[in-house]
């Protein structure tokens, strides 16, 4: 245990552990159960186009007059994410799915290279693994990484269990717990105060890929950003958040890395950084 620098790794799920976002496959699964799959699919395509259009407008990336990271993230959450979530629930895009189908979808979800290996090695070394995700289904996450993590903090699809003779299926509603950068930061800080260790050998690490992860990355003892998400890199530049790129073989040095967003391309770098 002594040689491991992190006592807990808190990690995002979609596009941090997984290769692709799992929203679309989850909706496709629901569409297959629907009585009218064509109209569901076309409504979903309309919502996806609207979502993407928010990023094609010149001012939808980081606006030049954004006063602070927090206000930018609040605006992003209210003007894009929250509206999408309301539409997803109103139009019942996720109705009709059975719990086992969500687990199965999780099991079939492709993970990034070395993600499984790094999580397994950390777990074997008794590093606590927590998933902190704005994904809509804890069942899906458990299907993908259930044996590799100690705790999942996410959202839940609501199931209709009123008729004992009918199969348990999702209603299309979602119990929301984690949907914004602030929610993730608050949850991470709770983990940090519960685990309470901020020494150089037992730090709390957080890894994520998007703007929703940025406050948590900045709050963690070891804050790791994986990948090339354009919006998050623009936000780092715009708000002049200290960041450092690491390469294969670099080791963790608190005096060098603490207080900076540590940018990595793959789980292989994370493995060498945290476990070498
Ligand atoms: Mg993500």
Alpha carbon of 208 to ligand 1 centroid (Å) = 6
CA of 210 to the centre of ligand 1 (A): 6
pLDDT tens digits for range 165-221: 888 999 999 999 999 999 999 999 999 988 765 554 578 999 999 999 999 999 999
Fold topology of 6-19+110-154+177-275: Rossmann fold (3.40.50)
Looking at the chain, the whole-number percentage of residues with pLDDT higher than 90 is: 72
CA of residue 139 to ligand 1 center, whole Å: 17
| Mean predicted confidence (pLDDT) in 101-108 | 98
Residue 164: its pLDDT value, please?
A: 87
pLDDT (tens digit per residue) in 64-93 = 778 899 999 998 888 888 999 999 999 999
Query: What is the pLDDT of the chain when averaged over all its residues?
Result: 91
In tens, the pLDDT along 3-34 reads 578 889 999 999 999 999 999 999 999 999 89
Output the pLDDT for position 249.
82
12 alpha carbon to ligand 1 midpoint, in Å?
6
Mark out the alpha helices in the chain (DSSP H runs). 23-33, 37-56, 69-76, 82-90, 99-108, 115-124, 138-145, 181-195, 214-219, 230-238, 254-257, 267-275
- The alpha carbon of 17 and the centre of ligand 1 are apart by a number of angstroms equal to 8
């Amino acid at each position: 245990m002594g040689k491991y620098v992190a006592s807990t790794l808190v990690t995002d799920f979609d596009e941090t552990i997984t290769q692709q976002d799992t929203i679309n496959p989850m909706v496709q699964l629901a569409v297959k159960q629907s009585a009218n799959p064509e109209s569901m699919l076309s409504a979903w395509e309309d919502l996806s186009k609207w979502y993407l259009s928010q990023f094609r407008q010149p001012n939808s990336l980081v606006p030049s007059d954004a006063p602070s990271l927090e206000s930018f993230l609040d605006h992003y959450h209210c003007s894009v994410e929250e509206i999408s979530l309301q539409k997803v629930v109103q139009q019942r895009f996720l109705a009709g799915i059975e719990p086992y189908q969500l687990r199965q979808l999780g099991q079939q979800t492709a993970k990034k290279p070395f993600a499984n290996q790094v999580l397994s090695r950390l777990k074997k070394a008794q590093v606590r693994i927590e998933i902190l995700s704005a994904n809509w289904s804890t069942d899906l996450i458990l299907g993908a990484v259930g044996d590799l993590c100690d705790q999942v903090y996410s959202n839940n699809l609501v199931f209709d269990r009123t008729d004992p003779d009918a199969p348990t299926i999702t209603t299309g509603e979602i119990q929301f717990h984690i949907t914004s950068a602030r929610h993730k930061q608050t949850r991470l800080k709770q983990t940090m105060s519960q685990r309470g260790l901020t020494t150089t050998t037992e730090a709390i690490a957080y890894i994520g890929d998007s703007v929703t992860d940025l406050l948590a990355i900045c709050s963690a003892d070891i804050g790791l950003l994986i990948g090339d998400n354009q919006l998050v890199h623009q936000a780092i530049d715009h708000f002049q958040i200290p960041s450092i790129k690491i390469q294969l073989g670099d080791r963790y040095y608190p005096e060098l890395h603490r207080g900076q967003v540590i940018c990595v391309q793959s789980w292989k770098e994370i493995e060498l950084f945290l476990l070498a």
